[in-house]
Amino acid sequence: MQFLDKNWITENHIDFEYKKYVLLAYLQHVSEHFTEQRLYPYLSDLVDHYRNLKQLKDNKKYLFNLFPERMKSLDLEQFNIIYNKMVEDDTIMQEIETILDFSIPQMEHYLKEGKKIYDFIEERLKIYPVGVIPLNCEFGYLFLKSGFSPNTEVYEYHITIFENPSEKYRGLHISYVATYEKSIMNTFESIKTDLLRFNKSLPNPAAYVIETEMILPFDETFLPMAKRTLVKRIAGNA
């Protein structure tokens, strides 16, 4: 992936035309992957950059602090080194303002493009449990099936919860288990039974199927979206 450095606004030459070229090259790269329905890590990376730009725009002090310092003088009496910010010229700040004013709407456009694709795919993902769901759904299995392939990718999952005074966050950890060929005889229920037979450490696990008729890039789209869908489902049941 063609990444954009976190501090791309302030690194190297602070010149509008140069930064415009860097940004548009990055956005073109992201758009090409969106066209191929490859959403990750491109969409989350774009979200992070957009938030950073908004922070820079809204917080001039934060922007000012990004710039390095250089030594101005020595205070030998107090044994202090006095520093100057390397950005004191108003023309540099004005150039950054111009870059931000151009970049934020550009990123908003491509974020809408990515969100539109995300919503389209999300509407076509089906999630449902396999068998009886236990009271504790923090451990279990995730069955993934897409397109017209009979293969079902099975993952073991573990949900962790992080809390602060105002919010609760759920993190999902998965590990690949096996690939099963689903058929009339080999149903999701029989796959779950087989997993129970070989993994005694999960005697009563939850198991969810997430499937779609769409043919999607697995690592870049189906798997990360399925993980989000599972977390949302379990959070809704909590």
Measured between alpha carbons, how far is 213 from 201 in angstroms, rounded to an integer? 33
Measured between alpha carbons, how far is 75 from 138 in angstroms, rounded to an integer? 60
Environment class of 217 (CB within 10 Å of its CB; exposed 0-12, middle 13-18, buried 19+)? middle
Please give the model's pTM, rounded to 2 decimal places.
0.82
% the chain with pLDDT above 70: 82
Tens digits of residue pLDDT in 58-71: 876 566 665 555 44
Domain boundaries, the chain: 16-122, 126-237
Tens digits of residue pLDDT in 205-228: 999 999 999 999 999 999 999 999
Amino acid 236 reads G
Nearest to 136 by CA among 169, 158, 164: 158
